[in-house]
Amino acid sequence: MGAVNLANIRKTIYYLQRNGLRSTWYAVRERLEERKTPPYAYEPPSEAELEKQRKKVREGAAQGVYEGITFSIVVPAYRTPARYLRELIHSVQVQSYPDWELILADATEDDSVKEVAEAYTDCPGIRYVRLSKNAGISGNTIEALEYAQNAYIGLLDHDDLLAPDALFEMAEAIRRGREQGESPLLLYSDEDKCNGQGNVYYEPNYKEKFNYDLILSNNYICHFMVTERGLMQKLKFRRKFDGAQDYDFVLRAVTELEIPRRPERESLVCHVPGILYHWRCHTASTAENPRSKAYAYKAGRRALQEHIDRNGFAGQAVPLKHVGFYCVKYRGGAFPDAVFASRPDLGAVGGPVVRSGKIVGGRMDSHGKVYFQGLRVYYSGYLHRAVLTQDADAVDIRCIALRRELWGLFREITGVSYRHRPGEAVFDVSLLPKGTDLQALSLRLCQAIREQGYRILWCRKEHVGEV
């Protein structure tokens, strides 16, 4: 979208009022620099590719590999414009994976939605349901879920669109999980936004594999989310979290699956790469007007706080500068002792290594690639992820704090005793011999920590420090 438009001006003014001139200057400067990157263009799968998918499903079905992989797409509809609803229905009808039902759960006071739905009465799989009343997004979804009959439930907002390969990619992920011995219970894809006409796509949201501490920062899972029916119908949505009902659901599902205390259970949540969902943005949507759903951000904070309390963490959910993003500040002592005392799943905490105002080290993947490499330290990065707490495969040994129980392991890996840097809570890297390959040592150490069953947290110190 253009650099200057009413929505962006509105967002900038709102940010200025919340965070002041200095932070706004850096935020605007970063956004203007982002405009220099090549524009995004959504490339839908070709008809040839979709036919390949259909053929694969037909052949796989004959062998039973897709047995039981069926989807109920639940759409709580309320005063949905006819054009949006027809486009939504079409996006489901053209799916390359055939085993679906579409439930249009209508809470509209008049017959406007019903009149559109009646045009599809002869279409197999499309079911129109008149809800008893308009009980809000959570209440309407709760009632609609009772009509879902298939093994997995996908949630689709009444003015959004699915990519034509969305259900195929979800089915493939479930099939692969089965072959590996553990079917995922919650799946999510990448997504983008589209304009009101549904013909311009922008702001792709490319996600990563499930990251527990990142979900404690914001609902990065969002769309397209598919959940095993039993889990969805057990937990449902809760009306007191309207506006953030999906975030509350994900946090409760994470607890239900025992992920906070058992990192190995993260395999039950599966990221399916690829843009499979188009979030339609118009004047009333949260994406275009952050004030339009300020209540949603407050509900998200309450949902996160309840998750913190439910899991026995001594912490407080605190909003960050960008709306809809949070951090957990831990109580009970100085950093990082309060973090380790509250989070027995964490073995190490690391932060960014900064040189000349830019990030040169910090979170790494298992091959040593540095996340946020070269980003100005005052910038928030892609979708603000550079300022969010998140789990890491590895962190830089130059800025690492270690749980005391792992000090022996540290000496075994590094050959030196663990000791804090003077006046700080991170390792004194000057204790290592000159010429040490710090990256290789960081990777070996962090791999050993993860093999002990611990998570590794990457964060900005001020975002997890004591309340």
Q: What is each CA distance from 159 to 107, 122, 133, 284, in whole angstroms?
A: 15, 22, 20, 12
What pLDDT is stored for residue 28 in this prediction? 76
Tokens of 333: 């002592």
What pLDDT is stored for residue 182 in this prediction? 87
What pLDDT is stored for residue 103 in this prediction? 97
**Residue whose structure tokens are 């490499």:** 373
What pLDDT is stored for residue 467 in this prediction? 47
For every one of its 467 residues, what pLDDT tens digit does the chain have, with 9 covering 90 and above?
444 566 667 777 766 666 677 777 767 787 877 778 888 999 999 999 999 999 999 999 999 999 999 999 999 999 999 999 999 999 999 999 999 999 999 999 999 999 999 999 999 899 999 998 999 999 999 999 999 999 999 999 999 999 999 999 999 999 999 999 889 999 999 999 999 888 899 999 999 999 999 999 999 999 999 999 999 999 999 999 999 999 999 999 999 999 999 999 999 999 999 999 999 986 555 555 555 678 899 999 999 999 999 999 999 999 998 889 999 999 877 889 999 999 999 999 999 999 999 999 999 999 999 999 999 999 999 999 999 999 999 999 999 999 999 999 999 999 999 999 988 889 999 999 999 999 999 999 999 999 999 999 999 877 666 54
Rounded CA separation 226/384 (Å): 25
What pLDDT is stored for residue 286 in this prediction? 52
Closest among 160, 185, 161 to 173, alpha carbons compared: 185
What pLDDT is stored for residue 7 in this prediction? 64
Strands of 320-404, DSSP E:
326-330, 346-350, 353-355, 358-361, 363-364, 390-391, 394-395, 400-402
- Residue 189 has phi, psi (to 5 degrees) of -120, 175
DSSP 222: -
What pLDDT is stored for residue 369 in this prediction? 96
- Residue 309 has phi, psi (to 5 degrees) of -65, -40
